[in-house]
């Protein structure tokens, strides 16, 4: 749901089309108007460092299939077919 008063996608597209999106005369870029919200995949230490600095971070536990062993990953993929 888009909050009331928020620019619509059409408004944002027009701003970009008009070349005003990141024009310094219009203030800071919208991307930098709020603190970042981060999704961290894999190395938990990155998430910990960002969280320690006060950033909103969601960590996703992930590792490559078969521990990164391409041959083993291929063999495992054949089990599912």
pLDDT at position 44 is 94
Residues 66-79, buried b or exposed e (16+ Cβ, 10 A)?
A: eeeeeeeeeeeeee
Q: What is the pLDDT of residues 22-68, one digit of tens each?
A: 666 777 677 777 888 999 998 999 999 999 999 999 999 998 889 99
The whole-angstrom separation of Cα 54 and Cα 35 is 9
Residues sharing a CB contact under 8 Å with residue 46, sequence separation 6 or more, in sequence order: 40
The whole-angstrom separation of Cα 75 and Cα 81 is 11
3-state secondary structure of 18: coil
The reply to whether the predicted model has a pTM over 0.85 is no
């Amino acid at each position: 749901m888009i909050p009331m008063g928020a620019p619509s996608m059409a408004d944002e597209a027009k701003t970009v089309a008009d070349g005003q999106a990141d024009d310094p005369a219009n203030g800071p870029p919208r991307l930098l108007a709020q603190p970042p919200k981060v999704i961290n995949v894999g190395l938990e230490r990155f998430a910990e460092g960002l969280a320690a600095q006060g950033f909103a971070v969601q960590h996703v536990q992930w590792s490559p299939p078969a521990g990164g062993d391409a041959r083993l990953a291929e063999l495992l993929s054949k089990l599912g077919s």
